[in-house]
Structure 1
Amino acid sequence: MDDFARRLLHWYDRHGRHDLPWQHPRTPYRVWVSEVMLQQTQVATVVPYFERFVTALPDVRTLAAAPEDRVLALWSGLGYYRRARHLHAAALICVAHQAGELPRDFDALAALPGIGRSTAGAILALAHGQHHSILDGNVKRVLARFHGIGGWPGERRVENELWTLAASHTPATRVADYTQAIMDLGATVCTRSNPRCDACPQARDCIARREALTATIPAPRPARGLPERHTMFVVLRDRQGRVLLQRRPPQGVWPGLWSLPETADESSAYALASRLAEFDTDVAALPEVRHAFTHFKLQAVPLEWRGVRARRAVADTPDTRWCSHAEIAELGIPAPVRKLLFALNQDQASFVPSPLPLSRRERGSQRATSSRKGREA
């Protein structure tokens, strides 16, 4: 065991996190679910989702047996829904080929959907004490600063160098504790901004601290402007308060999740609403929905029709469904859409529809009025 690992474990015994829910008990399944949830998501956010998820689906077999909609509903709000689909797909593989257990072999485990090298190492190290290194975002930051490694850690050259360093520091004993310790150090001390170097067990030998480089190491992802995408949500509510939802295609934004029907502009929104339902009420523009994705920003204007009547041709199908508030809670729905639907279910007086910007409102009103007159003529 080198000095880096020795100092880290000494710190962990006194200051590390020992009460995380996936540590008690620290089974392979619980470690796996937590590690996948923690990809690109902070611990404080993950904890309530983890507890809800493992209460509903406590092991590999129950996860595999659950419908995908159930898995996505439990995941709803965490984002990056491909992670949930990978969990489900991996569980199905484990039931079919691993007797309902996660494999203990590194190569077999890393080959499962959504796992890969670092997550496989974390599962085997934390759950079984096997000697494997990890390299998540926290570990990259700790090692890059300690060794003074410049550049963006997502770059292949930098990442390969960090993997070599991770392997060199991982001890042969107390592997589970070391693995948790280095993640804890990055999450609580060697943070992205304002690191607490005075509380760090590695401060004495840290190159970034010594050379005042903690603000520039590791380098951020190369900046790029995010394009904006504009769309319209069609909100159809019948007299029972049910809302019409559609399952999104398997590719693209929010693949396979349930969401509101969507169109490009007001006139096409009215046309779509007319195809899906019968109504004699005016349309109301609700507050804009804004959401940032990794590659673009979404700006959506929901248009709501209340008291509509379902057309006979638009009944419940595998991809279209009239849903009550209780049924919505059981579906996988994108967080911004779920937030909108939740607001609609609250006291309507506290959620007052607001008009579109003037020029847009005028255009939409003119189009909607002319369309209605044309239908009535």
Structure 2
Amino acid sequence: MNPRAKELLDWYDHNARRLPWRTSPQARATGELPDPYRVWLSEIMLQQTTVAAVRSYFERFTSLWPTVYDLAAAPDAQVMGEWAGLGYYARARNLLKCARVVAFDMGGAFPCDPDALQALPGIGPYTAAAITAIAFDRPATVVDGNVERVMARLHDIHTPLPAAKLELTEKAAIVTPQDRPGDYAQAVMDLGATLCTPKNPACGLCPWRVPCRARAEGTAASLPKKTPKKPKPTRFGTVYLARRVDGAFLLERRPDCGLLGGMLGWPGSDWTEGEAPDHSAPIRAEWKTLPAEARHTFTHFHLRLIVRHALVPMDRTPERGSFLMPEEFRPSDLPTLMRKAFDLWQGAA
């Protein structure tokens, strides 16, 4: 075993984080095996999201759907509603697609091969490597943001990300051991999350402090370098909250593709930069405008929505969407953006 890997595993045996989806190194040593379903679920949730944000979602999901069969049988709207707040709803759609493939086409068993895993919906190279190593204890090079930071500092690599990704992955592959690859993958991620942090790294406590070139050069705090991001543009739009006199709400399901794809929401305009786009209300009514906007930030842009609302008589037929009776409407099924508009309307009411 590479001496760097042994140093890190010795540290991990005493310092591993306790996470609801993790099998501890002590439990692994006694023969307890991780549940591939829980490993897969946590990795999908953790994509571009923090452990602190994911923990409660993971516990709620596994309480509602403890097996891949349970998740595969869950209603789409309920899963999407429970996902609200984790962002990237395409991940939630692929989560359901993947669960159904595994449950109905693969007998409930996740494959242990990276290539076979990547053939499943929503699983890319990183997630396939993480599942291979963590769930099945097979050698695979797992490189997330924490690992990139650790490798950049360990080898004092100043090439900015994302250009440095290949070099950092090659460095990570050299250290990845054949023995205990699952524990090692989690160990190097824990190192980045707890000691080799983006700011104020705790170099004095690090098991790799002696071989770390960036520590020796005094450059650790400035690594990894990153190519500056372009400022996010702001887009504008309008949503319409129509409530019928019997309490029913006017909602529509968005197209499967694109942001918030396949989810229920309030009818509204397109989202554009600059002037508000041309559009018409989804139903004839006396519309009023709330004083506050619904604001939300996506990965690539900020969004500001004007919220218009109206009480609609029973004899009006919508041009878009359909009315949902109060007993069928659950605000929790709405994506976060649409829930913000609903909360503003509720507050005004």
TM over 0.5: yes
Q: Could you tell me the TM-score, scaled by structure 1's length?
A: 0.81
CA 1:145–1:278 in 2, change beyond 3 Å: closer, same or farther? same
Deviation, 1:20, is 0.8
Question: Over the residues paired in the alignment, what is the CA RMSD in angstroms?
Answer: 2.6
The percent of aligned pairs where both chains have the same amino acid is 40
1:246 aligns with 2:252: yes
User: Quick check: which one's helix share is greater?
Assistant: 1
Deviation, 1:323, is 5.3
1:202 aligns with 2:208: yes
Aligned mates of 2:215, 2:277 — CA distance in 1: 59
Which residue pairs with 1:140 in the alignment? Answer: 148
For residue 283 of structure 2, the aligned residue among 276, 284, 288 is 276
Which residue pairs with 1:293 in the alignment? Answer: 298
Which residue pairs with 1:320 in the alignment? Answer: 322
The superposition leaves residues 81-100 of structure 1 with CA deviations (integer Å, 9 ceiling, x where unpaired) of 11111111112222343112
Which residue pairs with 1:9 in the alignment? Answer: 9
Question: Aligned letter for 1:146?
Answer: L
Which residue pairs with 2:223 in the alignment? Answer: 217
Which residue pairs with 1:111 in the alignment? Answer: 119
Do the aligned residues in 2 keep the contact of 1:278 with 1:310 (CA within 8 Å)?
no
Q: Where in structure 2 are the equivalents of 1:93-108 lying within 5 Å?
A: 93-108=101-116
Deviation, 1:241, is 4.4
The superposition leaves residues 208-260 of structure 1 with CA deviations (integer Å, 9 ceiling, x where unpaired) of 22222233321224321222111112122234544322212223332222221
Do the aligned residues in 2 keep the contact of 1:278 with 1:311 (CA within 8 Å)?
no
Q: Which moved more, 1:194-203 or 1:295-304?
A: 194-203
Which residue pairs with 1:33 in the alignment? Answer: 41
Which residue pairs with 1:336 in the alignment? Answer: 337
Deviation, 1:35, is 0.6
Which residue pairs with 2:175 in the alignment? Answer: 169
The superposition leaves residues 42-87 of structure 1 with CA deviations (integer Å, 9 ceiling, x where unpaired) of 0010011111112222222222222322221121110011111111
Residue 220 of structure 2 aligns to a residue whose secondary structure is: coil
Do the aligned residues in 1 keep the contact of 2:240 with 2:268 (CA within 8 Å)?
yes
Do the aligned residues in 2 keep the contact of 1:248 with 1:255 (CA within 8 Å)?
yes
Q: Where in structure 2 are the equivalents of 1:18-57 lying within 5 Å?
A: 19-23=18-22, 26-57=34-65
Question: What are structure 2's unaligned runs of at least 5 residues?
Answer: 24-32
CA 1:208–1:240 in 2, change beyond 3 Å: closer, same or farther? farther
Q: Which moved more, 1:42-51 or 1:217-226?
A: 217-226
Deviation, 1:139, is 1.0
Q: Could you tell me the TM-score, scaled by structure 2's length?
A: 0.87
Deviation, 1:268, is 6.4
Q: Which moved more, 1:215-224 or 1:170-179?
A: 215-224
Which residue pairs with 1:257 in the alignment? Answer: 263
Residue 210 of structure 2 aligns to a residue whose secondary structure is: helix
Do the aligned residues in 1 keep the contact of 2:195 with 2:205 (CA within 8 Å)?
yes
CA 1:202–1:291 in 2, change beyond 3 Å: closer, same or farther? same
Deviation, 1:290, is 1.8
Q: Which moved more, 1:232-241 or 1:49-58?
A: 232-241
Question: Aligned letter for 2:330?
Answer: I
Do the aligned residues in 2 keep the contact of 1:29 with 1:59 (CA within 8 Å)?
yes
Do the aligned residues in 1 keep the contact of 2:149 with 2:224 (CA within 8 Å)?
yes
Do the aligned residues in 2 keep the contact of 1:4 with 1:169 (CA within 8 Å)?
yes
Residue 87 of structure 2 aligns to a residue whose secondary structure is: coil
Aligned mates of 2:209, 2:323 — CA distance in 1: 57
Question: Aligned letter for 1:308?
Answer: V
Which residue pairs with 1:235 in the alignment? Answer: 241
Aligned mates of 1:206, 1:321 — CA distance in 2: 62
Deviation, 1:336, is 2.6
Aligned length: 336
Question: What are structure 1's unaligned runs of at least 5 residues?
Answer: 346-350, 354-377
The superposition leaves residues 269-304 of structure 1 with CA deviations (integer Å, 9 ceiling, x where unpaired) of 7x41xx52545xx61414112222222211112122
Aligned mates of 1:216, 1:302 — CA distance in 2: 43
Do the aligned residues in 2 keep the contact of 1:277 with 1:311 (CA within 8 Å)?
no
Question: Aligned letter for 2:338?
Answer: V
CA 1:114–1:131 in 2, change beyond 3 Å: closer, same or farther? same
For residue 184 of structure 1, the aligned residue among 190, 193, 196 is 190
Do the aligned residues in 1 keep the contact of 2:36 with 2:131 (CA within 8 Å)?
yes
